[in-house]
C-alpha cells in the first residue's frame, strides 16, 4: 500500500465581466444618439450622465425605463464546430426624478443598474471547468444635488449607494465511479459606496439669420466602487466523499469586486429653426478605468479549500460616442448614433462568458410627444462582434461571434412651473 | 397623425428587419478522410495501445473501451461512416486486476491488485479473449519491438520470442503457435491483419523494462534455451532493422498509417514521485555499480520504493534502497540518450515509408512543467497531475484521450483528413473513492 499526500489544483475563477459588464443603457434618449449625453442633459437621466446637467431641466422631471438585452453568442473551438451560449435576456431598469428648488438649486434621485452581466452555457460544455453560469447584478441608488454657480455653468454631485449580487458556477474536475465531474457554486451579496460629480455649461447661444445655434457641454466623473462580498456562500456539489475535506458541501468565502471609474466629456451642438424644429449633433468620450479590475480573489473559510487569486490585467479604455437628433417639437424626435468601444481585455485574456472586442455599434431611437408633459421614447442598439480569442491562463481558445440587440422604452414626465426657461433650446 | 404613423411604421420595419439577424451559429466543418483509407484500422503496439492502466487491463468502467485506438477509431468513423467496427479483446470487469485509490481511515491510499481490499484478477482472466476472432487492436502489454520480429541471423530468436510472448497473459488473444515447430510472431499477425490503416507505437518497452528494473538485468529461464535477460535495452541497430521489418510489411500491404515516437520515460510519475522533497529526509540508494550514497536530484527512485521506505530501508547508509529500486543518474542519462536514438530511428523510418509521424515525445514534454487545457491543470505529477493512471507509467482515460488527439493531429496533417479531436474533459481521470 502506498500513501500519498495529494495537493490539489485550486478553484481558479477566471471571471471576466468585459466591456458589456458596464451597461451603457441608462436612458433611452441617450442610447438613441450613441450614448453621448454628458454634454446634452435634456432629461432626468442627466442624474446619471452628468449631475451638473440637472439645472438644464424643467421644474419637475420623471423618467422610468427599461431595456431588453437579447444576446446571441456562438463559439467555435478545436473540438466543436459550434457552441451556443444559453444566456437568457436581461432587463435592466432605470428611474430618475429631479426637481428644482428656486432658481439655483436642483435635487434628484436615481435608481439604475449600471453594471450587470449574465452568461450561461450548457452544464457539460467544453469550457465547463472555466465557467458554466455567471451573473452579476447591481442596483445603484443615487441622491443628487446640483447648483448653478454662474449664469451659464452649473455643478452637481451625487452619492452612490450600490448593492450587488453575484453568482458563479463551474465544474470541478474530480471523478468518482459514478460521477464525471463536480460543481462549485459561489453566490454572494455585497454593497459599495461611490460618488458621481459633473459640471455642465450652456456655452453659448446665438441667433443667426436662419435660426438659433447653441452649444452645451459637460464633464462628469463616476467613481470606482469596491463591492465586498463578505459572507459569500460556496457549495460544492457531486464531489467524491474522499475529497470532501477540501471541497465541503458548504463553506463561506469573501471576495471583492472592483467596479471601474468612468470619466466622460461631451458636447451638444444644436441648430433650432424657429419654434417648430431643431437638429443637434452630440459627441462624447469616456475613459473607463478597467485597470482597477486587475485581480479577483476568493478567500474560503474552510482552510483546506485552496484560495485563489486571478490576474485580469485589463486595460483602461476610451470609448467614442456620437449621434444626431432631429426634433419636431409638437410631435416626435428621431435619433441615430453609433459608438466605438475599445475592449479592456488584452489578447490572451479573452474569456468565454463575455468575449468582448473592439467594436462599432449602431443605435437608433424615436420619441413621441403627443400628450402634454408626457413623452415616450424607444431605443435600439445593435452590436456585432467577432473575435478570435484566447484565455491563455486556462488553456482555452475559440472564435467568438456575438450579436446583441437591445430594445429600450421609457416614459417621461416633465413639467415647468414657470412658463419660460431661458436655457432650454431642446424640447422635452 | 399621418406622419407619426409613418414614423412608427418605419421603426417597426427597422426593428423587425434587425430582429431576424441574431444568428451567430458557425457552419459545420467539412469531414473528410483525406488521402487515408481508414476502412480496416489496425492498432499495433504495447500496453499504451492495448488500453492498459493502473497496472492492469480492465474494463470495469469502460477503461479498455477508451483505449486510444478505440477513441481514434470512433473519431475516424465520423469522417468515414462506412468503416467497420473496431474490435478489441475486451477484458471482463477487473480483468488482470488493477490498482485503485481507496480511502482508509480518512486517508487516500493506493491499493495494488493483491493488497487486502485490492481489485484482484477477474475469474474470467485466465481464459480471457477468443483467439479465433480477428481483432483490430493488436496491442499487447509488455511487448517489446524486439519480441515482435525474429532477429536476422539468430536462429534461436524466433523461439525465444515465441516463449516470451506466449508467457505474456496480455497476448492471450493472439495465437503464437507452438514453440520451435510453428513459431508465429507478432509480425506475422501484423502481416495477416489486412490493415488499410495502422498506428504503430512500438519501442517503449525496449527501454522501459530496463528502466523499471532499475537499470538491472532480469534473467528468466526459458526451457531448452537457458537464462535469458528479458529487460535489456534493445540495441539501436537491432531496433532499426526490426522497426524497418514492421514498416516494410505494412507498406507492402499498401496500408496508410502513423508511427509514434517514445515519450521520455524518465519524466513519468513512476520515477518522479519519491524523492527527498516528498519524504522529508535524505534517501540512501545503491547505484548500479554498487556504490552506496544519498540520492541526488537526478537520481530517479521508483514508486515501488515507498514500500521499502515504509519498512525503514533507504533511510540509512547501512540499509540503502537496492539498485533495482533506483534508476541512478548515470542510468537515467543512458535511458534519455537511448530514447533520443530510438526516436531518431522511428522518425527516419516513418519518413522513408511516407507514414505520418506522431511525436508523443514532444507532446509529453510540456506536461513536466504543467499544461492547462480548458480550465484544467494537467501535469506528469502522480495522481494530482490528472493524466497518468495509478501505476505512474500509463495514462488514465483522460490521458489516453489526449494521446488520441496527438494521433489525430498528426494523421490529419499528413493525410489531409479532418478527423475531429475528442474533448479530454469528457473522460474520467483518477477515480476518487466515494
CATH number of the structural domain spanning residue B45: 3.40.50.1110
B382 has a chain A CB within 8 A of its CB: yes
ipTM at complex level: 0.88
List chain B residues with CB under 8 Å of A242.
101, 103, 108, 432-434
Cross-chain residue pair B375–A6, CB shorter than 8 Å: no
Q: Residue B364 is part of which domain span?
A: 41-271+331-426
Residue B410 located in a structural domain: yes
Chain A residues with CB under 8 Å of B21 CB are: 403, 405
Measured between CA atoms, the residue of chain B closest to residue A399 is: B26
- Residue B401 located in a structural domain: yes
Give all domains of chain A, ordered by start, each with its CATH number.
Answer: 19-415 (2.40.160.60)
What is the tens place of the pLDDT at every residue in A108-164? 999 999 888 888 999 999 999 989 998 889 999 999 999 999 999 999 999 999 999
Burial zone of A416 (CB within 10 Å; 0-12 exposed, 13-18 middle, 19+ buried): middle
Cβ-Cβ contacts under 8 Å for A102 (sequence gap 6 or more): none
Q: Which of A3, A78, A84 lies at the smallest CB-CB distance from B25? A: A84
Tell me the C-alpha distance between A422 and A417, whole Å.
13
Give every CB contact of residue B390 below 8 A, 6+ residues apart in sequence. Answer: B53, B54, B55, B98, B99, B100, B101, B110, B383, B396, B430
Q: Which residues of B touch A332 (CB under 8 A)?
A: 3-4, 7
Cell 471583492, located at residue: A256
Strand partners, B334: none
| Test the B interface: residue of A8, A74, A173, A377 with most B CBs within 10 Å | A173
Cβ-defined contact of A175 to B110 (cutoff 8 Å): no
What is the pLDDT at residue A310? Answer: 65
CA distance linking residue A175 with residue A168, whole number of Å: 21
DSSP B34: T
Closest CA to A69 of A111, A33, A36, A25: A25
- Does any CB of chain B come closer than 8 Å to the CB of residue A82? yes
By Cβ distance, the residue of B25, B110, B431 closest to A1 is: B110
Q: Give the minimum alpha-carbon distance from A144 to chain B in angstroms, rounded to a whole number.
A: 35
Q: pLDDT tens digits, residue range B239-257?
A: 999 999 999 999 999 999 9
Average pLDDT over residues B258-264: 97
Q: Which three cell numbers stand for residue A289?
A: 478605468
pTM given for the model: 0.89
State phi, psi for A254 to the nearest 5 degrees. -120, 150
Rounded to whole angstroms, the Cα distance separating B161 from A424 reads 100
Assess if residue B290 is contained within a domain.
no
| pLDDT > 70 in chain B, percent | 97
Q: Is residue B173 part of a domain?
A: yes
Higher pLDDT, B6 or B425: B425
What pLDDT sits at residue B14? 65
Q: Is B103 on the interface with A (CB under 8 A)?
A: yes
- Does a structural domain hold residue B19? no
Closest CA to B71 of B416, B414, B407, B429: B407
| Residues B46, B202 contacting (CB under 8 angstroms) | yes
Q: Which residues in chain A are closer than 8 Å to B306, comparing Cβ atoms? A: 2-3
| B402 in contact with chain A, both atoms CB, cutoff 8 A | no
> Residue B376: which of A131, A173, A368 has the nearest Cβ?
A173
Grid cell 422604452 is found at A409
Residue A332: is its pLDDT beyond 80? yes
Count structural domains, chain B.
1
- Find chain B residues with C-beta within 8 A of A5's C-beta: 278
Q: Please check whether residue B301 lies inside any domain of the structure.
A: no
| pLDDT confidence band for B148 (50 / 70 / 90) | very high
Asked if B146 contacts B242 with a C-beta cutoff of 8 angstroms, the reply is yes
- With bands split at pLDDT 50, 70 and 90, how would you rate the model's confidence at B333? very high
Dihedral angle at the C-alpha atoms of A27, A32, A35, A40, nearest 10 degrees?
-80
Residue B311: all three cell numbers together: 519498512
- How confident is the model over B353-371, as a mean pLDDT? 96
| Cα of A72 to nearest chain B Cα, Å | 6
Q: How far apart are CA A118 and CA A137, in angstroms?
A: 8
Which pLDDT score, from 0 to 100, does residue A293 have?
67
Q: pLDDT tens digits, residue range B59-98?
A: 999 999 999 999 999 999 999 999 989 999 999 999 999 9
Grid cell at residue A209: 439669420
Touching check for B107 and chain A: CB below 8 Å?
yes
Q: A5-21 pLDDT, tens per residue? A: 454 444 444 444 444 56
Average pLDDT for residues A351-367, to the nearest whole number? 87
- Cell matching residue A292: 482597477
Look at residue B299 and tell me if it is in a domain.
no
Helix, strand or coil, per DSSP, at residue B135 = coil
pLDDT > 90? residue A251 = yes
Tell me, yes or no, whether B65 lies in a domain: yes
Give the residue among A164, A169, A113, A167 at the shortest CA–CA distance from A142: A113
Q: Residue A306: what pLDDT? A: 76
Amino acid at each position: 500500500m502506498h500513501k500519498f499526500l495529494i495537493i490539489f489544483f485550486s478553484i481558479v475563477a477566471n471571471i471576466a465581466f468585459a466591456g458589456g459588464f458596464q451597461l451603457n443603457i441608462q436612458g433611452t434618449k441617450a442610447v438613441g444618439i450613441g450614448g453621448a449625453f454628458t454634454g446634452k442633459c435634456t432629461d432626468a437621466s442627466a442624474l446619471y450622465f452628468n449631475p451638473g446637467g440637472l439645472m438644464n431641466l424643467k421644474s419637475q422631471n420623471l423618467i422610468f425605463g427599461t431595456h431588453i438585452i437579447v444576446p446571441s453568442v456562438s463559439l467555435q473551438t478545436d473540438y466543436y464546430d459550434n457552441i451556443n451560449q444559453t444566456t437568457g435576456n436581461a432587463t435592466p431598469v432605470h428611474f430618475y426624478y429631479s426637481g428644482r428648488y428656486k432658481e439655483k438649486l436642483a435635487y434628484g434621485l436615481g435608481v439604475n443598474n449600471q453594471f450587470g452581466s449574465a452568461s450561461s452555457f450548457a452544464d457539460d460544455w467544453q469550457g465547463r471547468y472555466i465557467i458554466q453560469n455567471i451573473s452579476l447584478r447591481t442596483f445603484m441608488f443615487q441622491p443628487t444635488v446640483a447648483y448653478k454657480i454662474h449664469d451659464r455653468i452649473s455643478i452637481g454631485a451625487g452619492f452612490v449607494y450600490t448593492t450587488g449580487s453575484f453568482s458563479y458556477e463551474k465544474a470541478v474536475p474530480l471523478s468518482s465511479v459514478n460521477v464525471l465531474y463536480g460543481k462549485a457554486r459561489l453566490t454572494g451579496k455585497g454593497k459599495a459606496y461611490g460618488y458621481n460629480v459633473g459640471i455642465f455649461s450652456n456655452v453659448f447661444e446665438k441667433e443667426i439669420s436662419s435660426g438659433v445655434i447653441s452649444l452645451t457641454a459637460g464633464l462628469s466623473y463616476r467613481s470606482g466602487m469596491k463591492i465586498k462580498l463578505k459572507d459569500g456562500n460556496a457549495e460544492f456539489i457531486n464531489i467524491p466523499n474522499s475529497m470532501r475535506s477540501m471541497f465541503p458541501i458548504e463553506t463561506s468565502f469573501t471576495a471583492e469586486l472592483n467596479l471601474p471609474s468612468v470619466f466622460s466629456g461631451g458636447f451638444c451642438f444644436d441648430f433650432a429653426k424657429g419654434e417648430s424644429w431643431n437638429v443637434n449633433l452630440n459627441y462624447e468620450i469616456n475613459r473607463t478605468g478597467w485597470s482597477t479590475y486587475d485581480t479577483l480573489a476568493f478567500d474560503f473559510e474552510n482552510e483546506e479549500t485552496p484560495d485563489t487569486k486571478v490576474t485580469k490585467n485589463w486595460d483602461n479604455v476610451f470609448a467614442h460616442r456620437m449621434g444626431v437628433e432631429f426634433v419636431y417639437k409638437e410631435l416626435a424626435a428621431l435619433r441615430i448614433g453609433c459608438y466605438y468601444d475599445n475592449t479592456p481585455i488584452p489578447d490572451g485574456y479573452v474569456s468565454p462568458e463575455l468575449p468582448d472586442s473592439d467594436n462599432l455599434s449602431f443605435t437608433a431611437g424615436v420619441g413621441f410627444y403627443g400628450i402634454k408633459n408626457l413623452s415616450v421614447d424607444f431605443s435600439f442598439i445593435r452590436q456585432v462582434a467577432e473575435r478570435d480569442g484566447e484565455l491563455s491562463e486556462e488553456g482555452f481558445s475559440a472564435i467568438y461571434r456575438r450579436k446583441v440587440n437591445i430594445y429600450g422604452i421609457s416614459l417621461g414626465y416633465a413639467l415647468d412651473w414657470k412658463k419660460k426657461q431661458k436655457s432650454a433650446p431642446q424640447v422635452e | 397623425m399621418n406622419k407619426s404613423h409613418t414614423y412608427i411604421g418605419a421603426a417597426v420595419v427597422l426593428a423587425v428587419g434587425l430582429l431576424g439577424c441574431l444568428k451567430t451559429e458557425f457552419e459545420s466543418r467539412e469531414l473528410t478522410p483525406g488521402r487515408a483509407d481508414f476502412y480496416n484500422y489496425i492498432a499495433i503496439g504495447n500496453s499504451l495501445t492495448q488500453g492498459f492502466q493502473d497496472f492492469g487491463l480492465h474494463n470495469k468502467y469502460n477503461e479498455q473501451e477508451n483505449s486510444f485506438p478505440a477513441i481514434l477509431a470512433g473519431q475516424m468513423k465520423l469522417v468515414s461512416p462506412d468503416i467497420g467496427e473496431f474490435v478489441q479483446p475486451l477484458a471482463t470487469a477487473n480483468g488482470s486486476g488493477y490498482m485503485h485509490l481507496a480511502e482508509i481511515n480518512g486517508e487516500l491510499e493506493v491499493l495494488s491488485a493483491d493488497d487486502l481490499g485490492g481489485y484482484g484478477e477477474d475469474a474470467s482472466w485466465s481464459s480471457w479473449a477468443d483467439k479465433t476472432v480477428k481483432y483490430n487492436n493488436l496491442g499487447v502489454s509488455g511487448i517489446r519491438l524486439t519480441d515482435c520480429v525474429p532477429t536476422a541471423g539468430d536462429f534461436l530468436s524466433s523461439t525465444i520470442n515465441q516463449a516470451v510472448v506466449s508467457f505474456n497473459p496480455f497476448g492471450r488473444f493472439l495465437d503464437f503457435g507452438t514453440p520451435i515447430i510453428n513459431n508465429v510472431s507478432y509480425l506475422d499477425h501484423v502481416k495477416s491483419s489486412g490493415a488499410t490503416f495502422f498506428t504503430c507505437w512500438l519501442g517503449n518497452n525496449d527501454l522501459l523494462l530496463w528502466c523499471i528494473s532499475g537499470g538491472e538485468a532480469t534473467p528468466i529461464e526459458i526451457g531448452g534455451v537457458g537464462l535469458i535477460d528479458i529487460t535489456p535495452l534493445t540495441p539501436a541497430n537491432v531496433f532499426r532493422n526490426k522497426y524497418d521489418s514492421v514498416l516494410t510489411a505494412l507498406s507492402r500491404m499498401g496500408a496508410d498509417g502513423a508511427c509514434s515516437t517514445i515519450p521520455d520515460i524518465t519524466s513519468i510519475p513512476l520515477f518522479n514521485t519519491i524523492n527527498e522533497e516528498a519524504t522529508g529526509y535524505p534517501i540512501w540508494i545503491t547505484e548500479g555499480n554498487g556504490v552506496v550514497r544519498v540520492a541526488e536530484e537526478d537520481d530517479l527512485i521508483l514508486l515501488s520504493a515507498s514500500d521499502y521506505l515504509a519498512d525503514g530501508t533507504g533511510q540509512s547508509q547501512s540499509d540503502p534502497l537496492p539498485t533495482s529500486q533506483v534508476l541512478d543518474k548515470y542510468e537515467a542519462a543512458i535511458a534519455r540518450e537511448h530514447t533520443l536514438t530510438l526516436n531518431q530511428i522511428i522518425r527516419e523510418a516513418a519518413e522513408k515509408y511516407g507514414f505520418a509521424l506522431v511525436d508523443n515525445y514532444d507532446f509529453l514534454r510540456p506536461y513536466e512543467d504543467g499544461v492547462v487545457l480548458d480550465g484544467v491543470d494537467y501535469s506528469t505529477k502522480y495522481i494530482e497531475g490528472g493524466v497518468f493512471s495509478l501505476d505512474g507509467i500509463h495514462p488514465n482515460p483522460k490521458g489516453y484521450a489526449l494521446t488520441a488527439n496527438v494521433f489525430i493531429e498528426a494523421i490529419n496533417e499528413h493525410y489531409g483528413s479532418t478527423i475531429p479531436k475528442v474533448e479530454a474533459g469528457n473522460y474520467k481521470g483518477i477515480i476518487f473513492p466515494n
